[in-house]
A and B are shown apart, each in its own frame.
Chain A
Amino acid sequence: MNRSRILTALLFAVLFSFFTLPAEAHKLNVFCWAGDTEVYGEVFFSGGRKAKNVVVHVQDAKTHTLLLTTRTDEEGKFQFVPPQQAVQQKQGLLITVETGDGHRGEWPLAADEYLLTESVPPPTEQLPIKESATASVDMETVRVIVQVIVRQELERELLPIKRELAEAREKKISSRDILGGIGCIIGLAGLLAWLQANKKKKKRSTDG
């Protein structure tokens, strides 16, 4: 009796010692966020290991037609310019990654997430700065210049935040999940034990 108690305590000690370890799911995590002209993304395994050199597929979210393929770099990062077709038809994108050993991850990117910035002309557009600097300043030109500068600055400031927001969208495992799971297993064991005890009782009552 004493022995089994020690054993149970030990097994539980082992179980609970796992809680101190970083709790992350064993899956392929993909997350994406849209910048000004490009979509950025990162792929990593649970535990934080970067998925290097894996193929990234960009599909139309509705029809699952493949729009483009790219690869992650040495840091598990990738980026792509949203395909023209998707931009024109305002399609939502589905970014999927497969590693070939059974891991697959996906990230849906709604159309308005990456189309938001497309409505304003991109900053690469030629600006008539020289002329406006010498001649009387045209209000329209100033407006465009300011708009572009503000967008570039915002982009610089917001990208890390967008990245964090995207990362936070992924479900993380909490100790509640772990305890919930263990609770379920113990509950099921209790149920099984109860059913078997009932069966034994019935058998005994019919025998006796």
Chain B
Amino acid sequence: MHISEGILSAPVLLSGGIIAAIGTYIGLKKIDLEQVMPVALLSSAFFVAGLVHVPLGPGSVHLMLIGLLGVMLGWAAFPAILIALFLQALFFQFGGFAVLGVNTVTMATPALCCYYLTRSWMNNPKTRPAAAFLAGFLAILLASLLTACALALTDTGFTTAAQLIIAANVPVMIIEGSITMFTVGFLAKVQPEILHLNYA
């Protein structure tokens, strides 16, 4: 889902940077002392998940865990994803520094949306697994659409880009849905307070 350097036009890069900066500012404001470590752990998980390739479907894709980050972190997903993306660009040459803002927005916004969308269902143990699966699934779908939007705003056609990205990411949606479902289920049993952090 990382857009490479040298594709997007300057206005898109700039607006991505501004939105990412605002999101990160709000996210940082919402992190307090107890929540620092969960944010760092999930940021690390995101950082490493990019190396796990999903050898299914037509394209080359990898895990992102953005649904899980959204559900667990809310607004704090912005700084978590920004830092992980920065380090991925630095160490793995994923994406790039100029596209950091846009890539943060395309991945952190879906995380935030999933947080708000599924929050009310998360509290009910009956709907929790479905809500978690949906969060993991939807986050990738939204991120694909946003990536296609960013590409379309430059010059690539939206439909072609969207089709390519979504088709490649269908296996990831299902895998991430399952991962989010099981992780949330496990955390709800072992460490319920981590899921009910009041970030919003």
Contact = CB atoms under 8 A, between A and B. Distances in A.
Interface of A: 3-4, 6-8, 11, 14-15, 18, 21-28, 45-47, 49, 96, 98-106, 171, 173, 177-178, 180-182, 184-186, 188-189, 192-193, 196-197, 200
A105 to B, nearest CB: 7
Contacts of B156: 100
A49 B60 contact: yes
B93 A25 contact: yes
Contacts of B49: 18
A163 B50 CA distance: 27
B47 A181 contact: yes
B94 interface: yes
A102 B40 contact: no
Contacts of A99: 164
19 contacts: A7-B194, A8-B37, A18-B49, A21-B52, A25-B51, A46-B53, A46-B62, A47-B53, A49-B59, A101-B168, A102-B1, A102-B3, A102-B165, A173-B92, A178-B47, A178-B51, A181-B88, A182-B48, A188-B83
B92 A45 contact: no
Given A26-B94, A98-B7, A103-B4, A8 B51 contact: no
A21 B32 contact: no
Given A7-B187, A47-B55, 17 more contacts: A15-B45, A15-B48, A18-B52, A22-B53, A27-B4, A27-B94, A28-B4, A101-B59, A101-B147, A102-B3, A104-B5, A106-B6, A173-B92, A182-B47, A189-B37, A189-B40, A193-B36
Max count, chain A CB within 10 A of own CB: residue among B55, B87, B90, B151: B87
A26 B53 contact: yes
B32 A196 contact: yes
Contacts of B92: 25-27, 173, 177
Contacts of B52: 18, 21
Interface residues of B, number: 53
B93 A7 contact: no
A99 to B, nearest CB: 8
B161 A100 contact: yes
Contact of B33 (A104, A173, A182, A197): A197
Contacts of B190: 3, 6-7
Contacts of B88: 181
Given A45-B60, A102-B2, A180-B91, A21 B33 contact: no
Nearest to A104: B4
B20 interface: no
B51 A185 contact: no
B191 interface: yes
Contacts of B47: 178, 181-182, 185
A156 B146 CA distance: 47
Given A4-B191, A101-B164, A18 B55 contact: no
B14 interface: no
Given A177-B91, A192-B36, A102 B44 contact: no
B53 to A, nearest CB: 4
Contacts of B40: 185-186, 188-189
A99 B160 CA distance: 11
B197 to A, nearest CB: 14
Nearest to A4: B191
**Which 5 pairs across A and B sit closest by C-beta, in order of nearness?**
A45-B60, A189-B40, A47-B53, A104-B4, A177-B91
B91 A181 contact: yes
A121 to B, nearest CB: 38
Contacts of A22: 53
